[in-house]
Structure 1
Amino acid sequence: MVNAIKGLFISCDVPMAQFIINLNASLPTSQKFIIHILDDTHLFVQPHVAEMIRSAISELRDQNSYEKPS
């Protein structure tokens, strides 16, 4: 018998995958969203968290960007 789960496939570099894994680990058990870690650069997650992941990545990029002083 085949079990199918609807999800979102994420392909990224290793540091971004680790960021997403750490984001998942920081949530309570009832809110964890990673279905399966396929390898170092591929994750399978619940589809409803796409916008939350995008928002967290955007915040990370904003914190790590350099603005030249005026």
Structure 2
Amino acid sequence: MVNAIKGLFISCDIPMAQFIINLNASMPTSQKFIIHILDNTHMFVQPHVAEMIRSAVADFRDANSYEKPT
């Protein structure tokens, strides 16, 4: 018998994958969202966390962006 799990496939570069893995590690056990890490740049996560990941990545990107002083 085949077991199927609904999820979201994420493809990204290595630093962003590490960011998502660390985000998952910082969550309590009951809220961990990574189903399977396929390789360095691909992972399978629970579908309900898509917006949370997008938001965390946007916050991270905004916090680490250089703005030229005026």
TM tier, smaller: over 0.9
1:2-56 CA-to-partner distances (Å, cap 9, x unmatched) read: 0000000000011100000000000000000000000100000000000000000
Structure 1 residue runs of 4 or more that deviate by more than 3 Å after TM superposition:
none
Unpaired runs of at least 5, structure 1: none
Which residue of structure 1 lines up, in the alignment, with residue 52 of structure 2? 52
TM-score, structure 2 as length reference: 0.98
How high is the TM-score relative to the length of structure 1? 0.98
Query: Alignment RMSD, CA only?
Result: 0.4
Partner of 1:12: 12
Q: Number of paired residues?
A: 70
Unaligned runs of 5+ in 2: none
- The code of the aligned residue for 2:61 comes to R
**SS state of the match for residue 58, structure 2?**
helix
1:20-39 aligned at under 5 Å gives the runs: 20-39=20-39
Mapped to 1, the partners of 2:37 and 2:54 lie a distance apart of 18
